[in-house]
Amino acid sequence: MVAKQAQTSELSEVESETAKWQEAHIIKDENGWPKKGVHYTGGKVFEPIVGLHKDVLTYDVASMYPTMSSAYNITSETINCDCCKEDPDAKIADDLMELINNDLIRDGYEPRPWHYWICTKRRGILSSVMEDLIRKKSEYKKEGLSLEEKAVKLFANSGYGTFGQVHFEYYDFRVAELITGFARHTLLGLDQLLKDNGLQILHGDTDSLFIRSVETIDDCGCGNSSTSCRSDITTIAKERFQVDFTRDKTWKALVLLNSKKQYFGILTNGEVAYKKLVGLKNNYPPYFNEIVSDLIRKETTELFYLSDKKAYDNNKAKKQISDYLRSAFNILSDSFLVGDMKFIIQKLCYSAKTQKALYEHERNCWQKYIFDEKIEDCKGDRSLAEMSNQSEVDTFVLENCS
């Protein structure tokens, strides 16, 4: 607490107008301690072109957020510094500032009452640290030290987020806002670069773009071979945006869903890959996991991939999927009708974690429902129910939540 009080005292004396604005806009609890920080926009996510796509490439920006900090010297002591206040070269690009403000307005917040600038006279501490971590990650990768590479990657990627966490001792939302702002600006620039080369963008998320594969000169409007085109894109991305933009995955078939950041498909090596599918979350009932796992397995996806363009073949694939789903729902329905408790307990139970004790939840939610059941089990003795409260993990049956 002493450290927090000292930090607040020091912050109020900082000459930077944006730092003072931050202190004034932090939401605090009844005791005056920070509760919620200033809102800033996260990564850029493109609307997916929903459906099955064949021959897709994923291009990825290596260490996007650490690179933004390193490349653009983003750190607390360099943002809106006193020494570069009147230097026009220190100001961030007008279109970047416009992007940051427009995203804030879209999310229901007021635009920033300032234009950001970044110090051109000194190197920031965070920027230097990120530069070193990026270098070490590259060295570990070349040496085949995958564990060390992953550790450095996780450490570097978490760096920006800590500055956006209001309880972090050196909290400064401006660092997080500029890093994500530069990242969105970069991804939009890469998107335009690929489009200018005649490529179709199917989806994009934070540091990755999914594009239709280019195999022949006729597929791309740039007039070069596919290999030359890809090489040129990587080179231009490095020169124009200061990022390593290289091919990450090659998909034989990719299915993009309505929900952003959710997709699955088959890689060219035959491996099934997916991201953030709701039905495969660990805290969902095992039965849901089994159904979704069957739906995205290689054999199921290939029903569509291997069918030709005739509507009849596609309809056959759709019918097989529909029949499978109908069967899954029938099993679910029959189990409830006959009261198959073994199936219900083994297949439809799921776990959930609560940060607070169950009895602290007053609004209607699953935590309150469970605690009400505990009170019943304790024959109405609330004190006894509180003593038996398992606040960390409680498992309950889906039927009890209906």
Closest among 128, 112, 115 to 85, alpha carbons compared: 115
Q: What is the largest CA-CA distance in the chain?
A: 79
Is 258 contained in some domain?
Answer: no
Name the pLDDT band for 392 (thresholds 50, 70, 90): very low
Domain residues for the domain of 82 are 53-198+214-245
CATH number of the domain within which 75 lies: 3.90.1600
Q: Range with the lowest mean pLDDT among 157-171, 324-338, 385-399?
A: 385-399
Looking at the fold, whether 235 and 354 belong to one and the same domain comes out as: no
Q: What DSSP string describes 29-60?
A: -TTS-EEE--------BPPP--EEEEEEEEEE
Looking at the fold, whether 91 and 222 belong to one and the same domain comes out as: yes
Is 299 contained in some domain?
Answer: no
| Edge-to-edge strand ranges of the sheet holding 51-61 | 201-205, 208-212, 51-61, 245-256, 263-267, 272-275
Q: At what angle do helices 146-157 and 64-72 cross, to 10 degrees?
A: 60
Is 203 contained in some domain?
Answer: no
CA distances from 70 to 45, 89, 136, 242 (A): 23, 18, 14, 10
Is 269 contained in some domain?
Answer: no
pTM score above 0.75: yes
| Structural domain total, the chain | 2
Is 283 contained in some domain?
Answer: no
pLDDT at 312: 45
3-class SS of residue 324? helix
Looking at the fold, whether 231 and 369 belong to one and the same domain comes out as: no
The 10s digit of each residue's pLDDT in 277-309 is 877 887 788 999 999 998 888 888 887 776 555
- Cβ proximity of 237 and 193 under 8 Å: yes
Beta partners for residue 394, in sequence order:
352
Mean pLDDT on 239-253: 93
Task: Provide Rg for the chain, Cα atoms.
Answer: 26
Mean pLDDT on 211-223: 55
Mean pLDDT (the chain) is 83
5 or 240, greater pLDDT: 240
Q: Range with the lowest mean pLDDT among 1-5, 72-76, 292-296, 371-375?
A: 1-5
Looking at the fold, whether 230 and 365 belong to one and the same domain comes out as: no
The 10s digit of each residue's pLDDT in 15-41 is 457 777 888 888 887 778 888 899 999
Is 119 contained in some domain?
Answer: yes
